[in-house]
Structure 1
Amino acid sequence: MKRIFVTAITMAMLTATAALAQIPKNYYNSLKGKKGAELKMAVHNIISNATVLSYGSGTGHTWDGFYSTDRLDDGQVVDRYSNDKRYFGSKGKSVSGMNIEHSFPKSWWGGSENQAYKDLYNLMPSEQKINSAKSNYPMGKVTSASTNNGCTKVGTGTNGYKLWEPADKWKGDFARGYMYMATAYQDLTWSSEQATQILQQGDYPTLREWAYTLYIEWAKEDAVDQTEVKRNNAVYKIQGNRNPFVDFPNLMEYIWGDSINYAFDPENTVTTSEYSDDPVQPTEETIYKATFTSETGNFTTTNITVPNNDFEVWTQDSKYGWKGTGYANNRAYAAEALLTSPEIDLTGFSEATLTFNHAVNFCKSPQTTLCVEVVCNGMTTTLDGITWPTGNNWTFIDSGEVSLNAFAGKKINIVFHYKSNDTEAGTWEIKKMSVTGTRSTTGISSVTQSDAPDMSKPYKAYSIDGQSITSPKDYKGIIIIVQDGKTWKMMNR
């Protein structure tokens, strides 16, 4: 197992889940399975259309947006370019001593006041003097500073370019912003000398290698925090598009970094949720749902014991749903049959719950005659914890929440198992059923380069997309190792 050199980062706990509170359901679905250039184009297609505000001050203009995106609870302006303190006045009004600053200036594409010029992901409130000093220079590492206000440096880099460099606490924010701009507006023509120092024409990679290498480094060193997540959510409410490099801190690796040969899966990767003072609560999602009065739910029936070949224990009814009975021709028969669900995929889930609505009549003790089972890896398990009807009426009741946690991470079938005899043949009706689940979390909270895990001690292993690996020695590719509160990214060849 060979270690990849990874810059150390510190991150808040990040949760792998498909349906976060602030990310619209299915918003990133089209990214699944893509990598490298194809992934970047898919991201572009999602984020390139935005409903931007008019530029300037006043209602419906940039400063109106800043009031929502860059205002602290006490009214202070979040200034990422200086340490000065200034405060908003009226909503929509510009703040004295501050400008609207562009990360990507309009001169970079010829001066057109297009969507990119008004995009709030490209705009930040900035103190005027440093705004003027940084001019239209691109962002990079300054080795010789001509201006330094204690937050932003302006000067020359090792490559001889005129550059500006943000403070360490803002480096990741601006890096992810540059990645967004180079993706959302990859089809622009970069026409100025400053632009072509970090950008090249075309959809991929758009950012030059020295630039994306540096920005990935900065994004790792300055991880996504509460301020950045809240701004992403606030801009989304205004523009209708998101910065996916904030939502998925490792997306950059799949487009420009060490994972470009691996398919990205937004449903099973490290992501950020809206931060709060309370721990992030994973969101429950529906895995399977069916109403049997209007559909079969793709269930199948299997007769085990029947009085004759034409006898069907389980039938679907438009009023009562799936109905199982051994009663026919005014008499009870010995019968046994299975009603089996389609495969239900619990891969990637840490918890799962079954619920269904059912009624039982003409059966003295339903829980001793009837049962619900799970088939997993060829083995059958009878489920406990089901709320059963009394067995002497047609009243439908809920089963209660039946735990499927023992089968989390696996693929299963749910089986309703009916039995009767020659003296008692009850009727079991099942009207609807659902399976819900909570996605697994990777638990990746830091990445370390200076030491190595002790593989003789207990550890957990994950693939680059957050899936648990049960046999790391046999796995080829990038592996995340978690041990004793530390995390390593390693390559198994």
Structure 2
Amino acid sequence: MKKIFTLLFFSLTLVGFAQQTQSVNAIPPGYYNTATGTGYTLKTQLFNIINGHNDRTYSGLYTTYLTSDIDMYYENNDTMLDMYTENPTGSECEFVYGGGLQDDGTLGNNECERYNREHLVPQSYFGNGVTPMYSDAHFVIPSDKHVNAQRGDFPFGRVNNATNTYSNGSKRGLNLNSGYSAGFTSTVFEPIDEFKGDIARMLLYFVTRYEDQLASFYSTSNSLSKVMFDGSTGQSFSPTFLNILLTWNQQDPVSQREIDRNNAIYVRQSNRNPYIDNNTYVTTVWGLPLGTSTFESLNAVSLYPNPSNNGIVTISTEIALDDIEIITINGQILQQIKRPTLENNTYTIGNLPKGFYFIKLSSNNDSVTKKVLVN
């Protein structure tokens, strides 16, 4: 769903940011005091902070989900929030915890029949039933049983032509071997845009929390998902999949749902996902998506239609923006949008009067200015 920003957006954004900041204060004072380095040094420091969490058991995940994975954001009806079936803009499959549809070994040949638990890093990668990975809620999520099985052990990627598409738009097919996903041609699973950043940050958590075991996982694994990893303690991911995850992290910024989920899991496990608490840790550890700079990415942003005949301009980009300014030809800032939400790789500016404008786009301390005409 595209977001249309009007002149009221700036004040609304400030309210949302204040609410988000209040929620972030659930981080214990001093929790990240020792996270002072850069690069892979910082990654190891984060490992030392989040290592040794409480294992709540595999069956205990369903108790954790009662607070961590409830839909208070879309339908807002306390049903199970499943990233594989949640449709932010339309009807969907809905499960109620304890409502009789938890996986019992039957059904699951179609969507909406049973729900179970999905390991975003498949068990076959680190060992079936091996704890604490087996029951770590930071990357083990509730899911529709059928779509879970369809994803299987396939890595996450960017589908070219889908061979299978599921009810909320998630899909499976050969990876698009170009752009930010270049370098891989086999089958991948692609979640919808709404949850790409969520999944990326969960996988970044995994290689940080289990940094000391990554070499062992890689050397013994025969999982299809093995291609995502490189077996190293530092970079941890192979170049193609690191680039995909870093791009998704930028395209889909941290949401209130992720913040609340992180807080709920902390209550149960006593550890946190640092890349949700402080998303700048991602680029401090791994940098920007491989082979790109923020400035290059901003230059590739397109605005359309240009000229616009109805006061609406769409910004198409694969990089998350920190700030959008609409500036008149006289240098007056007509509208400023801070921390806008990227959806389906677009932002939409609405309610522009007729005239000639400069659109200033900013991200990671870089900026570019585009020209647009409204007739």
Q: 1:24 aligns with which of 23, 28, 31?
A: 28
Q: 2:40 aligns with which of 31, 37, 40?
A: 37
Change (3 A) 1:154 1:16: closer
Change (3 A) 1:147 1:452: farther
Letter of the structure 1 residue corresponding to residue 194 of structure 2: K
Per the alignment, residue 51 of structure 2 pairs with 48
Whole-angstrom CA distance in 2 between matches of 1:13 and 1:485: 21
Change (3 A) 1:112 1:251: same
Per the alignment, residue 13 of structure 1 pairs with 17
Per the alignment, residue 190 of structure 2 pairs with 165
Per the alignment, residue 85 of structure 1 pairs with 93
Contact 2:200 2:246 in 1 (8 A): yes
Task: Indicate yes or no: 2:259 matched with 1:229.
Answer: yes
Cα drift, residue 15 of structure 1:
9.5
Of the two, which has the highest radius of gyration? 1
Whole-angstrom CA distance in 2 between matches of 1:75 and 1:181: 27
Whole-angstrom CA distance in 2 between matches of 1:229 and 1:109: 27
Higher alpha-carbon deviation: 224-233 or 184-193: 184-193
Change (3 A) 1:38 1:92: farther
Letter of the structure 2 residue corresponding to residue 242 of structure 1: R
Q: 1:147 aligns with which of 148, 156, 164?
A: 164
Q: Higher helix share goes to which structure?
A: 2
After TM superposition, list the pairs within 5 Å mapping 1:402-481 onto structure 2.
Answer: 446-447=321-322
TM-score, reference length from structure 1: 0.49
Per the alignment, residue 194 of structure 1 pairs with 224
SS at match of 1:53: coil
Contact 1:120 1:235 in 2 (8 A): yes
Whole-angstrom CA distance in 2 between matches of 1:71 and 1:154: 26
Letter of the structure 2 residue corresponding to residue 251 of structure 1: Y
Structure 1, residues 370-405: CA drift from partner, whole Å, max 9, x if none? xxxxxxxxxxxxxxxxxxxxxxxxxxxxxxxxxxxx
Contact 2:200 2:245 in 1 (8 A): yes
Contact 2:327 2:360 in 1 (8 A): no
Change (3 A) 1:156 1:64: same
Cα drift, residue 177 of structure 1:
0.6
Per the alignment, residue 437 of structure 1 pairs with none
Contact 1:63 1:92 in 2 (8 A): no
Letter of the structure 2 residue corresponding to residue 65 of structure 1: T
After TM superposition, list the pairs within 5 Å mapping 1:86-485 onto structure 2.
Answer: 86-90=94-98, 94=102, 97-149=114-166, 150-157=168-175, 158=177, 159-188=184-213, 189-190=217-218, 191-258=221-288, 446-447=321-322
Whole-angstrom CA distance in 2 between matches of 1:165 and 1:242: 25
Whole-angstrom CA distance in 2 between matches of 1:31 and 1:235: 21
Structure 1, residues 340-365: CA drift from partner, whole Å, max 9, x if none? xxxxxxxxxxxxxxxxxxxxxxxxxx
SS at match of 2:362: strand
Contact 2:159 2:173 in 1 (8 A): yes
Cα drift, residue 79 of structure 1:
0.9
SS at match of 1:99: strand
Change (3 A) 1:65 1:42: same
Whole-angstrom CA distance in 1 between matches of 2:246 and 2:115: 29
Per the alignment, residue 469 of structure 1 pairs with none
Contact 1:110 1:192 in 2 (8 A): no
TM-score, reference length from structure 2: 0.63
